Amino acid sequence: MTDYINEYFEGERPLFNEKNANIINTTFGEGESPLKESRNIKLNGNIFKWKYPLWYSKHVSVEDTIFETMSRSGIWYTDDISIKNSTLQAPKLFRRSNNIDLQNVHFADAEETMWTCNNIKMDHVQAAGDYFGMNSENIYVDNSSFVGNYIFDGAKNIEVHNSTFVSKDAFWNCDNVTVYDSTINGEYLAWNTKHIHFITCTIESDQGLCYIDDLKMDNCKLLRTDLAFEYCSNIDAEINSDVMSIKNPISGRIHAQSVGKLIFDDPDIDRNKTMITLDTDKEQAV
Q: What is the pLDDT averaged over residues 243-251?
A: 98
- Given a cut of 90, is residue 15 above it in pLDDT? yes
Burial 52-67 (b: 16+ CB within 10 A, else e): bbbbbbbbbbbbbbbb
- Least confident range from 29-43, 228-242, 270-284: namely 270-284
Residue pair 126/108 in contact by the 8 Å Cβ criterion: no
Give the chain's mean pLDDT: 97
Nearest 5°: phi and psi at 58?
-140, 140
Digit-coded pLDDT (tens) for 81-111: 999 999 999 999 999 999 999 999 999 999 9
SS3 103: strand
**DSSP one-letter string for 236-257:** EEEESSEEEEEE---SEEEEES
pLDDT of residue 105: 99
CA distance 146 to 164: 6
pLDDT of residue 203: 98
Q: Read off the pLDDT band of 282 (50, 70, 90).
A: low
CA distance 53 to 90: 11
Digit-coded pLDDT (tens) for 108-137: 999 999 999 999 999 999 999 999 999 999
Burial class (CB in 10 A: 0-12, 13-18, 19+), 111: middle
Q: Read off the pLDDT band of 281 (50, 70, 90).
A: low
Digit-coded pLDDT (tens) for 37-75: 999 999 999 999 999 999 999 999 999 999 999 999 999
Question: 181: how many CB neighbours lie within 10 A of its CB?
Answer: 15
Q: Please, what are the domains in the chain?
A: 1-90 (2.160.20), 104-286 (2.160.20)
- Given a cut of 70, is residue 284 above it in pLDDT? no
Q: Apex CA 13: angle with CA 9 and CA 16, to 5°?
A: 105
- Given a cut of 80, is residue 193 above it in pLDDT? yes
- Given a cut of 90, is residue 176 above it in pLDDT? yes
- Least confident range from 23-27, 204-208, 263-267, 281-285: namely 281-285
Q: Count how many residues are written for the chain.
A: 286
CA distance 255 to 239: 6
- Given a cut of 90, is residue 280 above it in pLDDT? no
Q: What share of the chain is helix, strand, coil (3-state, %, to 5)?
A: 0, 50, 50
Q: What is the pLDDT averaged over residues 16-44?
A: 98
CA distance 137 to 202: 24
Question: 268: how many CB neighbours lie within 10 A of its CB?
Answer: 6
CA distance 62 to 39: 13
Q: Read off the pLDDT band of 286 (50, 70, 90).
A: very low
pTM: 0.95
Q: What is the pLDDT averaged over residues 182-200?
A: 99
